[in-house]
Amino acid sequence: MDRIVDTIERRRQSGQWDLREYSHAKKAALLAGIDLCETKEERIGIRKEIVQLHDAIDRQTQMDYSAGQIGQQELAEARAARLESEIDLLREQLK
């Protein structure tokens, strides 16, 4: 799983993927890892990584919006994804 995430990171850094492609691929890889977790703590750790991913994307999206590079729709989608990931983390913690 770590190799997949590393490959995704390299593609993003090399400019092969835009932010949306990167976030979808990395989130999918991380979510796939949840199925491999043996403990609640491991699942929570992955959920925290997903929250960090969406937080970084939200910050970048806000900068892009402020620069006039994207519209309100993209900004709202990034914020909704961040909030959804935070809710998923809270649900995992409550299990």
Indicate the burial class of 30 (C-beta count within 10 angstroms; 0-12, 13-18, 19 or more): buried
Full DSSP string of 68-88: TSS-HHHHHHHHHHHHHHHHH
pLDDT for 1:
60
C-alpha 94/C-alpha 72 separation (Å) is 33
- Per-residue pLDDT of 12-58, as tens digits, reads 778 777 777 778 888 988 999 898 999 999 999 999 999 999 999 99
The one-letter code for the residue type at 51 is: V
- Per-residue pLDDT of 50-70, as tens digits, reads 999 999 999 999 999 999 999
Sequence spans of domains, the chain: 2-94
Cβ neighbours of 46 (radius 10 Å): 20
